Structure formats: structure tokens, C-alpha cells
Amino acid sequence: MKMSVLLKKSLVLVAALILAISVVSAHADGKPEKVTVIYGGSSWLGHYPAWVGIEKGLFKKYGLGVLFQNFYASSGRMGSLVAGDLDVASTGSISAIALMASGSKGFMAFGTQDSYATVEGIIAKENTKNIQDLKGKRIAAPFASSSHVLVLDILEQNGIDPDKDLDLVNLKVNEMPAAMGSGEIDACAAWTPHFNKLLNMPGNHMLVNDTEFSLYKKYKLGPGPDLLVVRKEFAEKYPNTCQAFVKGYFEAVDMLINQPEECAKVLVKLTNLSMEDQMTVLKDIAWIKGSEQKNLMVQPGGFVTGMQRLAEFLVRHKQIDSAPDVKRWIAGSMVP
């Protein structure tokens, strides 16, 4: 009996030693210490590079297997990330800022992969010709999203009080076409692909898009820019794995810039869009290369400053209690 316990303990010790040696040697070789990365995504355009990287074998080139986990909303994805179920993710920055404001130090940001100023905006019926016409009307936006922020900002710029001058309702983007069609709402704020669908409905027109957002005018920052995030513990424990992921990821970004049609062929599996619609969405995105990340993320560049202003905007509109110091969440070592 005692022998068997001793044997078990010895085996566990040997296994732990082998694991430790392999991690240390992998670290020294520059090879990924961990060969599977769990990525949190969705069919939103911000996740295209991760999907292309997986489908085109770009991560595999660096010895990585990436497991793509789907989430409906950024908040669920970020919750899973800090709970330790995901290693890397892309998120809408409002969720990331809210999580920073909650005091969570469990994640870091290492890049921003795209900007999409023309695929999100406020769409209204014909009789609403300008922003002032929204007074007294019912306008829908998904609360706690970039579209909600866009509406609050545009109303603020035009001196309209969202609590008194109009009826602002909380509606999911996929429920907007039916509500607009039935006349229950007069205007709505949405993002692609529902944005295009709403825009193409007869009698609808675009009032404003993200280019009218106050921070876009100053910092080229949309109301909820995409942000690449990593679990802090993961980044500290597996630096080579993170570097390999970053390399594969930004090669996918390059591929999206240089071979959009090739990428669209694999993206339709994720988005369920037609090839034609997929190409239209791709044309609206400006991808940000790996070589441009340092200027945006580390300097700190316009992106980090813009994010800080966005956090202050959220505080001003009573969405979060206090603005975090955004630059403290930047993982400088992972920025390519």
C-alpha cells in the first residue's frame, strides 16, 4: 500500500518535471509553450482575421491550433475571458472599458485590427429629414453598444435630451427591421449587416454614420472600436504562444487586405452571407496592419487617447461610474 502511494507520488513528480522542462525548453527555443489557443469570436467583422487565420492555416504555420468559440455579445465574451475560459478575443471596446471600470485586471489589450466608420449609423424614415426631426419620435438602439453611444453623442451634439425630447428604446439590432417595417419606431441605430438591410428597406434613409461621431472627427475613433484582448495570466505564462498568435493574426489581416476574394470564400462559412454581400462588407472595412499597431497602442497614439475620451464619455452619460486609465491595460510586449 505504502509502495503504491510512493510510486504514484514519484510518477506525479516525474510528470511535473517533464512538463516544466518542456515549457522551459519551449520558452527558450521561442516555440509556443501551449499549442492550443481558445479564441472568443462571433460573425462580426472584427473576427474575420481570426477566422481567416484558422481556415487558411496561418496559425498552424507557427505551431498553433486556434479554437474559435462563438459568443452573441461582447459582454459574454469578456466575462468568459476574465473567468479563464478564453485566452484571446476581440471585443467591442465599450465592454472592455466597462470591465476596466469594474476594476478587473484580468485582461490586457494588444491591438485594434479594423475601423469601420461607414457600416454603422442612424437610419430613419423619409419624414425624419435631419437630427432635429427626431424630437418627439421613437428611436431604437441596442443599449450598452456602440450604436447606443453613437445616438447619445449625436443627440448631445445637437442639443437633444434623450430622456425628455424623444423616446429612446432598447432594441436588439436583429429586431429592428421588423419594428421599422411595422412603423413602431421612427429611426434606429444599427451596424452591418442589419445596417445595410435597414438602409435598403423602402422609405428608409441614413441620417448619420460613424464619421459624425465626435471622437471620430478628432481621433478617427468610432463609437465602439474593435479591440484585441488577451487574458493577463495567459500572456504572462505563455509569451511565445502569444507572439505566435500575433504573427498568425496579422498575417491574416494582410491577407484580408491583399486577397479579399480568397478570404471571402472562407468567411461566408462564418457569416452565412452571399459572396456578393460578403465582398460588400469587406470593402467597407479599413484593416489596420501589424506594423501600424505600435503607433496606435503604445505611444500612446490616437487610439488609446480616443479610448480614454470614450471612457469619459460613458461616465458623462452615466453608463459607468468612473473612467479607468486605459493605457494601464495595454500589453506592450504583445503589440506587434
Partner 1 sequence: MKVDSTAKSLTISIVSLLIFIGAWELVCRLGFIEPLFMPPPSKILYRAMKLIDNGQLFVHTLASTRRVMVGFVVSSVVAIPFGIFLGSSRFFMAVFDPLISLLRPLPSMSWIPLSLLWLGITETQKYSIVFMGSFAPSLLYIIEATKGIDPLLIRAARNLGASKLDVMREVILPGSLPQIIAGLKVMLGIAWTCIISAELVAAREGLGFMIMNGKEYFQTDTVLLGMVMISITVMIIDVVFRKFERRLLPWTR
Q: Does 103 bind partner 1 (CB under 8 A)?
A: yes
Q: Does 227 bind partner 1 (CB under 8 A)?
A: no
Q: How crowded is residue 9: how many other Cβ atoms within 10 Å of its Cβ?
A: 10
Handedness of CA 311, 312, 317, 322 (dihedral sign): positive
Q: Within 13 Å, how many C-alpha atoms sit on residue 207's CB side?
A: 26
Q: Does 102 bind partner 1 (CB under 8 A)?
A: yes
Select from 32-40, 41-49, 198-206, 316-324 the region that touches partner 1 (CB under 8 A): 316-324
Q: Does 328 bind partner 1 (CB under 8 A)?
A: no
Q: Does 143 bind partner 1 (CB under 8 A)?
A: yes
Contact map string, positions 56 to 85, toward partner 1, x by CB under 8 A:
-----------------x-x--xx--xx--
> Could you say which residues in the range 183-212 bind partner 1, by CB under 8 A?
184-185
Binder among 88, 134, 144, 190 for partner 1 (CB under 8 A) = 144
- Say if strands 187-191 and 65-70 run parallel, antiparallel, or are unpaired: unpaired
To which H or E segment does residue 40 belong?
strand 36-41
Contact map string, positions 159 to 188, toward partner 1, x by CB under 8 A:
---------xxxxx--x--xx--x-xx---
Q: How far apart are the first and last CA of the chain?
A: 55
Q: Does 263 bind partner 1 (CB under 8 A)?
A: no
Q: List, in order, residues 6 or more apart from 107 with CB less than 8 Å away.
A: 78, 81, 82, 96, 99, 229, 230, 231, 232, 329
Q: Does 104 bind partner 1 (CB under 8 A)?
A: yes
Q: List, in order, residues 6 or more apart from 138 with CB less than 8 Å away.
A: 166, 167, 169, 184, 185, 186, 187
Q: Does 86 bind partner 1 (CB under 8 A)?
A: no
Residue of 64, 82, 71, 16 whose CA lies nearest to 41:
71
Which residues lie near partner 1 (CB under 8 A)? 73, 75, 78-79, 82-83, 95, 98-99, 101-104, 106, 140, 143-144, 168-172, 175, 178-179, 182, 184-185, 319-321
